[in-house]
Amino acid sequence: MNKKVLLIIDNVRIKEYNEMNVVVERYEDVYVPTKKQHEKKWRFKGYASTIFKALLLIQRNELLIDKESIHNLSSYLEQVKESNDKLLEAVIE
Per-residue pLDDT of 3-52, as tens digits, reads: 899 999 999 999 999 989 999 999 999 998 998 899 999 999 999 999 99
Is residue 86 within 8 Å of 64, Cβ to Cβ?
yes
* Cβ neighbourhood burial of 54 (10 Å; 0-12, 13-18, 19+): buried
**CA separation for the pair 35, 17 (Å, rounded):** 29
| Per-residue pLDDT at 1 | 63
Q: Which of 3, 23, 28, 21 is nearest to 13 (CA)?
A: 23
Q: Is the pLDDT of residue 93 over 80?
A: no
Of residues 25, 18, 21, 12, the one with CA closest to residue 48: 21
